[in-house]
Chains A and B, each alone.
Chain A
Amino acid sequence: EDQVTQSPEALRLQEGESSSLNCSYTVSGLRGLFWYRQDPGKGPEFLFTLYSAGEEKEKERLKATLTKKESFLHITAPKPEDSATYLCAVNTPLVFGKGTRLSVIA
């Protein structure tokens, strides 16, 4: 059974303070690892798909990396508008972690 664990549960950063979110996964075979951003009461918004260890993808202040056991979402110089819950999921149907609630304070 696929499993995903995200840490920390919540993270509070000052504007401009870079950090990383962790996603550990256990799967019998990885077909895809997905990062989503979710604002309260909204649907998850797709950010990245990673397929194999060593792969990296970037978008604005976000960079996602993948190893054989975990993925990191690095946030560089975050702004208040980056505040959201970040969800990690694997395979299809998606198995989600519980998310990291990020708050960026101005």
Chain B
Amino acid sequence: DSGVTQTPKHLITATGQRVTLRCSPRSGDLSVYWYQQSLDQGLQFLIQYYNGEERAKGNILERFSAQQFPDLHSELNLSSLELGDSALYFCASSLGASGQHTQYFGPGTRLTVL
């Protein structure tokens, strides 16, 4: 158990809908990252927050947004969902924001868009 929690575990929804994925980092970690894993693309970085502020952005679509709250939990919002958004979404956390800090991953949310 990494100490990172994600809810829900599974999400099934229809095209055009909007969903929210939730992540609680390990105790003491200030940085939260979101990654998407699909069969053909592997693990892709979406966005990073550090202590409530956006720190880095990857290949995140404009339909996707995220935020980190004062209690350090984070939410990833996915809107106008398309079939291609079906994937595993992982949250990770680390103590700091630099490349030297190990990231610990949560169990993921499996999103299926029908």
Name A's B-contacting residues (CB within 8 A): 31-32, 34, 36, 41-46, 49, 51, 87, 89-99
| B42, CB-defined interface residue at 8 Å | yes
B35 proximity list for chain A (CB < 8 A): 94
Report the contact-size class of chain B (Cβ under 8 Å from the partner): 20 to 34
B94 proximity list for chain A (CB < 8 A): 92
Taking the closest CB of chain B, its distance from the CB of A29, in whole angstroms, is: 9
Name B's A-contacting residues (CB within 8 A): 2, 4, 33, 35, 42-45, 48, 56, 58, 88, 90, 92, 94, 97-108, 110
CB-CB nearest 9 A-B residue pairs: A31-B99, A43-B105, A92-B99, A91-B99, A93-B45, A96-B43, A44-B105, A98-B42, A43-B107
Number of A-B contacts (CB under 8 A): 66
By beta carbon, the residue of chain B nearest A30 is B99
**Docked CA distance A87–B44 (Å):** 13
A87 proximity list for chain B (CB < 8 A): 43
**B45 close to A31 (CB less than 8 A):** no
A91 proximity list for chain B (CB < 8 A): 99
Taking the closest CB of chain B, its distance from the CB of A49, in whole angstroms, is: 5
